[in-house]
Structure 1
Amino acid sequence: MNLDTTFEYHGSGKDTNRPQLKARLRHLRQGDRSHVHSIDRLARSLKDLQKLVEELTGQGISVQFHKENLLFSGDSNPMHKLMFQMMGAFAEFEHSMIRERQREGIAAPRKQGKQIGAKPKLTEEQLAEIRERLDSGEEKKALALEYGVSRQTLYNALN
């Protein structure tokens, strides 16, 4: 298939605030056909998905989802609309399940007192010493350099 322009985005479709999606929407004109690999790549929220497709078809742009073999234009048939809504609901459900499993996966080790994420770069003793030295007038930049951390790491640790 010959495509005029390709917009690729390898991140999540969890929201519509994505640079490549915005560029795609600006590029499309009446009479164009927007090709999308699958429904869940356009949006993970059924509400966002419906809004995007309705806006595009309302502008005279057809939307073709290749994985699901669905084509939407201003005169989409009811069966396609039903399939579209079901597939969109499944994509939203799948995204919710992923987020829930992620939260559970983080909560279990925390409950056992295990460290989540990167280990602190400065110990409590070092932070106490740094605070004393800051109180005596030393600069954060010099202390960060001395302790081998970035200024941002030092600022974050002090907060």
Structure 2
Amino acid sequence: MAKKKSLLPSNFENYNRIGYIRVSTQNQKINGNSLEDQRSQLKRAGCDLIVEEVHTAKDKSERPIFNELVQQSVEGQTIITTKIDRFSHSMIDGMKHMEFLLSKGVTVEILNFGKLDENFNSSNKLMFKIFTAFAEYEHDQIVERCQRGRDYKRANDPDYREGAKRKHSPDRINKVLDEIEKGMTYKDASFLYSISERTLYRRMRERRDNAYVVEQK
């Protein structure tokens, strides 16, 4: 079996202060959590290596770079994140990773929380649990709000669909479909309005299906 390719630099063990950046999407710009904001803070904190990860918020454990960072870190290194929710969205996972790192002699530094090392005592542990519990609660609230928003749009917006946003507005599409129904060919409509024939066929099918449903009612 071929060895899995590492996501970290080949000389990873030679770095002392490793910054870890994570965002849920490339466009996340709120609360100082963008890649740029986090990178700037970690540079000021003196990191000599910064690793970045982008992942969806659907699965809290889906962080291959962070997981490898935890496993491959060695005694004397310091792992740094800007906020406690960048280190973990889950109290259980947060404690598991924290205790594993400290057991290896790796220091964890969270800029909005503090430095955690071999002096990690019961008071530090309690505070860490409280902070990660709040981070987990906030994360779950965001996921629930997004899901409620999708459910509302799905029920009330006839133009809503899952996945990437449609390239062409409903008004533009409807204008082109009107021209096709008046006799313009799909090929000519595609050329004149820079919309693929495949899209026009699909949207015309949707229009006729919706019209059939209305007639049935």
Asked if these proteins are the same fold (TM beyond 0.5), I'd say yes
Matched-pair contact (CA < 8 Å) for 1:15–1:48 = no
Matched-pair contact (CA < 8 Å) for 1:30–1:60 = yes
Q: TM-score with structure 1 length normalisation? A: 0.65
SS of the residue aligned with 1:9? strand
Structure 2 counterpart of 1:114, one-letter code: P
Matched-pair contact (CA < 8 Å) for 1:109–1:116 = yes
Deviations 1:62-90 (A, max 9, x none): 11111122x22233122221111111001
SS of the residue aligned with 2:50? coil
1:58 aligns with 2:103: yes
Match of 2:3 in 1: none
- For residue 119 of structure 2, the aligned residue among 54, 67, 75 is 75
Matched-pair contact (CA < 8 Å) for 2:60–2:89 = yes
Match of 2:75 in 1: 30
Deviations 1:28-81 (A, max 9, x none): 211212111111001211111111111101111111111122x22233122221
Unpaired stretches in structure 2, ≥5 consecutive residues? 1-44, 169-195, 203-217
Using the TM superposition, give the Cα deviation of residue 105 of structure 1 relative to its aligned residue in structure 2, in angstroms: 0.7
Which deviates more, 102-111 or 20-29? 20-29
Using the TM superposition, give the Cα deviation of residue 23 of structure 1 relative to its aligned residue in structure 2, in angstroms: 4.5
1:84 aligns with 2:128: yes
Structure 2 counterpart of 1:36, one-letter code: T
Matched-pair contact (CA < 8 Å) for 1:12–1:41 = no
Match of 2:87 in 1: 42
Unpaired stretches in structure 1, ≥5 consecutive residues? 122-145, 154-159
SS of the residue aligned with 1:63? strand
Q: Give the Cα separation in 1 of the matches to 2:71 and 2:104.
A: 12
Q: Give the Cα separation in 2 of the matches to 1:12 and 1:148.
A: 30
SS of the residue aligned with 1:82? helix
1:5 aligns with 2:79: no
SS of the residue aligned with 1:74? coil
Which deviates more, 110-119 or 46-55? 110-119
Matched-pair contact (CA < 8 Å) for 1:30–1:61 = yes
SS of the residue aligned with 1:8? strand
Q: Give the Cα separation in 1 of the matches to 2:67 and 2:133.
A: 23
Using the TM superposition, give the Cα deviation of residue 148 of structure 1 relative to its aligned residue in structure 2, in angstroms: 3.1
Q: TM-score with structure 2 length normalisation? A: 0.49
Shift in alpha-carbon separation, 1:64–1:100, aligned structure 2, 3 A: same
Using the TM superposition, give the Cα deviation of residue 11 of structure 1 relative to its aligned residue in structure 2, in angstroms: 4.4
Aligned length: 127
Task: Compare the two structures and name the one with the higher strand fraction.
Answer: 2
Share of identical aligned residues, percent? 25
- For residue 103 of structure 1, the aligned residue among 147, 152, 155 is 147
